[in-house]
Copies of this chain bind each other. A is one copy, B any other.
Amino acid sequence: MEQPLMLYNTLTHSKEEFKPLHPPFVGMYVCGPTVYGEPHLGHARPAIVFDLLFRYLKHLGYKVRYVRNITDVGHLEHDADSGEDKIAKKARIEQLEPMEVAQYYMDAYHDAMDKLQVQRPSIEPRASGHIMEQIQMVQEILDKGYAYVSEGSVYFDVPKFDAEHGYGKLSGRVLEELFANTRTLDGQEEKRHPADFALWKKAAPEHIMRWPSPWSVGFPGWHIECTAMSTKYLGKTFDIPPGGIDLMFPHHESEICQSRIANDCTSARYWVHNNMITINGKKMGKSLGNFITLNEFFNGTNDLLEQAYSPMTIRFFILQAHYRSTLDFSNEALQSAQKGLERLMQAYHNLQGLKAAATSTVSVGDCYQRCTDAMNDDLNAAMVIAELFELSRHINAAKDGKESLSQADIDLCRKTFDTFAFQILGLTDEASETPHAEVINGLMDMVLEVRQHAKAQKDWTTSDQIRDKLQSLGIAVKDGKDGATWEWRQ
């Protein structure tokens, strides 16, 4: 019997069968990047994990509306309700209009995501483009008595929410503990309770990003944007609001509060959270000196990196771990991912030229079904990759003549690779996707033929010269019983 898709729901601490609200439609809302710096590893993991989810839901036949916003206003330093707006601060430093900064880093984010083969969302709304919707929602929360105005700012009344609806269901945070742990930050004195969070902030005179509102000229709090935009584009309740585990508190918890009051309902059903990334065992951070941008990975231009790592290596590495596990980046781990990915792509390449035998001497079993089962089990891409490695072993053995595969098994292997490696995991064969792959293949045929001819004449000097020259071009020649083959050197 076909297993249904099970997703781990942070809200219930258990894997639940995924049943969309309005099949065949699925609504997904991801809190996207705050565009004030170069895209880095911390952007890559959630984007790739939710791309996996997006692709798999489409594979299952759902029509997915995937909304991923751009936070270009309202995200203050310290992720709290004080400090300077992250984008405005960068603008002040660089003497630019804040929207110029947002545009630059938004473009950089898009470029990096394209390289990582992250499919584009259906709608990418910008927080600054939905100020009216946010003001309207703040007004609704005020009208319902769950917020108050203080010195021109508006705060959500967390104790009142807690008493009537229970606060902290997602993160497990208890209000009394929050109270004890909160630092006294600038602006906090305006709040009735330290756990209260800003829905609207009055702008200080030097704050350049500002809009009029019934309460003050100011800007929206960080949390309200996602509730306002998800309501606008997906409705009051939608299916999946995936996000990094760092967003669970306070961001997602605040969204739950806002939505419960403004929309009188639960905002979302399946709270899917990916775990964190560490670098050599430590949290990544600019202040920790271990911050690596995606472009630095792609170009190898960071002292922490021994080499460049291609976008597909990064993607493959991220997919090799389950999304709910922490993931540690190191040169060794990335080099191992690079080799693994090349092994898979080489096996797929070998599969194309494989001659079918009458019967198979190895059992590939129902590899397609096993991959499906793995994906249905809370998106276990790591297990899918293990299956693909196992298939690669059989394919390579068949290519070397040590085993044989029937036509049916060859077809099944191909279907499994096409569906899972390429379509769902979203991997690409970077080497074969160059615009001139055909030309290179043609030229290599000619060069290898010349070398074969030289060898037949026992002209070892020429044949060695050709091999060396190819080596210097990054091409490795392998002599086999049916003649020579070549591959890109690893």
Contact = CB atoms under 8 A, between A and B. Distances in A.
Interface in A434-472: 434-436, 438-440, 442-444, 446-447, 450, 466, 469, 472
> How many protomers of this protein does the assembly include?
2
Contacts of A447: 443, 446-447
Contact of A446 (B65, B123, B439, B469): B469
B233 A438 contact: no
Interface string A46-64: 0000000000000000000
A8 to B, nearest CB: 28
A380 to B, nearest CB: 30
A256 to B, nearest CB: 24
A96 to B, nearest CB: 8
A359 interface: no
A124 B103 contact: yes
A426 to B, nearest CB: 17
Interface stretch (A128-136, A194-202, A476-484): A128-136
Interface in A125-173: 125-126, 128-132, 136
Contacts of A121: 103
Contacts of A132: 131-132, 211-212
B442 A436 contact: no
Nearest to A232: B99
Nearest to A234: B97
A128 B447 CA distance: 58
B126 A99 contact: no
A79 interface: no
A126 B136 CA distance: 20
Interface of A: 65, 97, 99-100, 103-104, 107, 110, 120-126, 128-132, 136, 211-212, 233, 434-436, 438-440, 442-444, 446-447, 450, 466, 469, 472-475
